[in-house]
Amino acid sequence: MKPAVVRDNLPARDAAAVFAPGFDRRGLAAAIGAYAMWGLFPLYWYLLKTVPAVQTVAHRVVWCAVFVIGWLTLRQERGWLRSALATPRVLPMLVASSTLISANWGVYIWAVTHGRVLEASLGYFINPLANVLVGVLLLRERLSAPQWGAVALAALGVLWLTFSHGELPWVALVLASSFCLYGLIRKVVAVGAVPGLAIENLLLLLPALAWLGWSETRGDGVFGHGGGLPEVLLIAGGALTALPLIGFAYGARRLPYSLLGLLQYVSPTLQLLCGLLLGEVFTQDRMIGFACIWLGLAVYAVDGWRGNATMR
């Protein structure tokens, strides 16, 4: 039996139907693949630890722009830029989202190359609950008592990590807040995932090229001076930036949103395992803080599933 076709105007199917006949397993594979790639990124960026983080981000912008624009051109979407910018307010919102995602990339790559992968993974565990707070504060959404409890547990975990280590876990908080606000903008802006990514990278392209040119004039540019491997990794990093987003967009149109909510924890879990693989220490104090956040996530997930079950 062929996979069922899911059109944009059809309601999402029940999450219990994941393995039912006709379920779009390609959509499931695409979503899992996207989250797995995001989760394994630390191992990739760690190979570029000798490259300054800002240069890595600049190359990521340049080669991602090349890859995504090439993708759109091959699909014969010649009018994609005009079409994407035809809606009012799209351009200024994408300027804001491009600023947020570049900051997110920069802090993330810095964390990976400076032995702070565990703290980076914490940021993406916090991110779903940060989305909840944004929904309450900016979108006027209401939370149930268990959901408020989940947010309180996550806040307790962050406070514990702050006091036990003597400093605010700023890497985790910057990653969570920047990606949360980025997601909010991309949720409300009227542009597709791939064209939106292309425009974001086009907006960052000139600053990225200027930074790379300045690095060359200072004599600390890496591209063309690394013996081949760094250059290949930097170019491939552009494709690796775009592929998970394309896979996620493919899966998100074909899977129940509740299932996507659970799959998103694949990424930070793999990031945490990567941190341990790279030799970072998961101390008892850190375990307590993570446990509070994981418990909060569990409370929120269970409450969400109970709410979905009640509505059926």
Q: Which residue has tokens 């939370």?
A: 143
Which pLDDT band holds residue 260 (cuts at 50, 70, 90)? low
Residues 6+ apart with CB under 8 A from 42: 112, 117, 120, 271, 274, 275, 278
Tokens of 45: 């960026």
What are the tens digits of pLDDT across the range 107-153?
A: 999 998 888 888 888 888 888 777 777 777 777 767 778 878 887 88
pLDDT band at 96 (very low <50, low <70, confident <90, very high): very high
Find all residues with CB under 8 Å of 148, minimum gap 6, and list them: none
Q: Which of 1-5, 42-46, 247-251, 294-298 has the lowest mean pLDDT?
A: 1-5
In this structure, are residues 277 and 57 in contact, taking their beta carbons and an 8 Å threshold?
A: no
**Residue 305 pLDDT > 50:** yes
Looking at residue 84, its pLDDT comes to 83
CA distances from 186 to 36, 90, 263 (A): 22, 10, 20
> Within the chain, how many helices (H) and strands (E) appear?
12, 0
pLDDT value at 13 more than 60: no
pTM of the predicted structure, to 2 decimals: 0.76
**pLDDT tens readout for residues 142-163:** 777 887 888 788 788 878 877 7
pLDDT by residue (tens digit) across 171-226? Answer: 988 998 898 888 788 878 878 878 888 899 999 999 999 998 888 888 776 776 66
CB contact set of 81 (below 8 Å; sequence gap of 6+)? 195, 198, 199
Average pLDDT over residues 36-55: 88
The per-residue pLDDT for range 68-89, each reduced to its tens digit, is: 888 888 876 678 888 888 888 8
On whether the CB atoms of residues 169 and 161 are closer than 8 A, the answer is yes
266 neighbors 35 (Cβ within 8 angstroms): yes
The residues, ordered by sequence, that sit 6+ positions from 8 with a Cβ below 8 Å of its Cβ are 253
* pLDDT value at residue 34: 87
Q: For position 9, what pLDDT does the model report?
A: 38
CA angle 108, 113, 117 (to 5 degrees): 60
